[in-house]
Chain A
Amino acid sequence: MDIDDILREVDPTFDSIPVETRDLQALTRAWIAERSAPELLDWPADGLFERINDRIKKQIEKVEEMTGDMDPKTNFALIVIQTELERFKFLVRSYLRARVAKIDKHTLHYLSTADLRLRLSSTELAYATRHQALLHHHYLSSFLSSFPASLQNLNDTSGNISMIDTPDVDTAVFIRLLRDVVVRGKGTDVDGAAAGQHGDIFILRWSDAKGLVESGSAELV
């Protein structure tokens, strides 16, 4: 027990949520959001992933050290640690896979403007650029090269029709409010608004929910 534990017990104003819980909450929230939102969300900027990856790496090293120990007590601790490690790895993996799936689906869209490129992490950006280049090269060598030069583009926007497929931001999503706030949404017949309380669940379009989610007033569920 160190001074923080003692403070925590006597002082109710002391911040009792440890940084590990905060990171797990942030990771879980990011995962759920990425699984639910129709478009790719921003890569967490505050180094959340680097922190979590670091910790996972350290934990794996610890497991490797402990495996040599044949004491039954360590054995049980080892089972617990490994179970948790697998759970963390699942979260990270599922989050990254959800992002890659979205990037694969609309590669050209996410590479089209600087703003959209900022949403990708550096590895994701490298992957998307390389993948798109390979794909373009493949198309070119198999059939595009026999087309007239003016028809060889994959990102033609002439004639008011864009070749670049974009995600549908009006897809409906479920959100949970994290504070009392008025929820406004566009509808087909009328535009709606509702006074929401902390913890309420709403269905609305992602384009309307985005502002609430980004400001931290709501999360996707």
Chain B
Amino acid sequence: MALPLPPGLVPTEVAFLCEMEMVTIIPRQRLESISLLSGQIPTLRPPHRAQLPLWLALLLKKQRRANIVPPSWLHPASLSEIIHHEINIDPEGFSPPPPPVTRSDGRGMARPYGDSKPGDMVLSPPFLPSCAADAPSSYLPYHWLELSETLLAHASDDIHGAAEVRTLLRDLQEVRAAKMRGSTTQLEGGGGVVGLRGVGAMELAESRGFVLGVVEGVRKLGASAEATRREEEEARSEGGEESDEDMAFG
């Protein structure tokens, strides 16, 4: 077997991805710049803050060479606000993802981060600065669960109100897990497209097998009905009735 893993990222692979998230640190000692495959690590000069990938930040933290500045959405106030949103404002969907990171283009317009010319590469997590100290509060980024768990495990002394944060995260996780389970009712419908706006990476990885199993099951059960429906639609569009509607999907 070349690869004994099921299709789709498994939780350990998601955790690996999360370690590429950029976090903010405050170095405790000077460290010369290192040139890495993913780019140059800036020279670290206390007390100037720097942004490093999580795996490096954890290494520095373990050796007591730096402190990690938790992202602002990991503050108890921000987490309570998100929980309030999840329970009271939008009891159906997940809380919205952070707004796309934009940069000023110098002419009073905002452009997506990293999108300098049309058709250029668009960055996505974990390469967006959504877990740095200045990330917008009250929005959960894609890797929220893995990142906060890792920070609580290895840098809990850097987190303001770590015990409270831990409790709030557990509440948040439960509320969202219930929504994830609830989303299966949408899957049963066989509507073709199911949106999960604001879902997190680990939440997807956890329920990937279940969700895909349901979708596959529904598809196989309805395969003959679907084939009949398509034949009918084809016949109708050939007959010239409602051709616009069917052509669009045909």
- Please determine whether chains A and B interact with each other in the same assembly: yes
Number of interface residues of A (CB under 8 A): 76
Whether the Cβ atoms of B193 and A179 lie closer than 8 Å is no
Whether the Cβ atoms of A201 and B196 lie closer than 8 Å is yes
- A108 close to B (CB within 8 Å): no
Q: B63, B193, B195, B222 — which one has the most chain A CB atoms within 10 A of its CB?
A: B193
A interface with B by C-beta (< 8 Å): 11-13, 15-18, 20-22, 24-26, 28-29, 32, 35-38, 52, 55-56, 59, 73, 76-77, 79-81, 83-85, 87-88, 90, 94, 97-98, 100-101, 104, 170-174, 176, 178-179, 183-194, 196-205, 208, 216, 219, 221
Q: Mark B208-220, 1 if CB is under 8 A from A, else 0.
A: 1001100110110
Q: Enumerate chain B residues within 8 angstroms of A24, measured Cβ to Cβ.
A: 20, 37-38, 127
Whether the Cβ atoms of B1 and A101 lie closer than 8 Å is yes
Q: How far is the CB of B228 from chain A (nearest CB, A)?
A: 11
Q: Enumerate chain B residues within 8 angstroms of A208, measured Cβ to Cβ.
A: 192-193
Question: Can you list 16 pairs linking A and B with CB atoms under 8 Å apart?
Answer: A28-B17, A32-B17, A73-B32, A76-B31, A81-B36, A87-B19, A94-B3, A101-B1, A171-B212, A178-B124, A187-B189, A192-B191, A199-B197, A202-B196, A204-B194, A216-B122
Contact of B37 among A28, A55, A186 (CB under 8 A): A55
Closest chain A residue, CB of each to CB of B200: A201
Closest chain B residue, CB of each to CB of A20: B39
- B182 close to A (CB within 8 Å): no
Q: Enumerate chain A residues within 8 angstroms of B235, measured Cβ to Cβ.
A: none
Q: How far is the CB of A199 from chain B (nearest CB, A)?
A: 5
A186 to B192, CA, bound (A): 5
A59 to B39, CA, bound (A): 12
Q: Enumerate chain B residues within 8 angstroms of A216, measured Cβ to Cβ.
A: 119, 122
Q: How far is the CB of A101 from chain B (nearest CB, A)?
A: 4
Task: Pick from B71-79, B84-92, B98-106, B167-175 the stretch touching chain A.
Answer: B98-106
- The prevalent SS among residues of A at the interface is mixed
Q: Enumerate chain B residues within 8 angstroms of A191, measured Cβ to Cβ.
A: 192, 249
Whether the Cβ atoms of B196 and A36 lie closer than 8 Å is no
**Given contact pairs A174-B204, A183-B193, A186-B192, A80 touches B199 in the complex (Cβ within 8 A):** no
A108 to B176, CA, bound (A): 44
Q: How far is the CB of B66 from chain A (nearest CB, A)?
A: 12
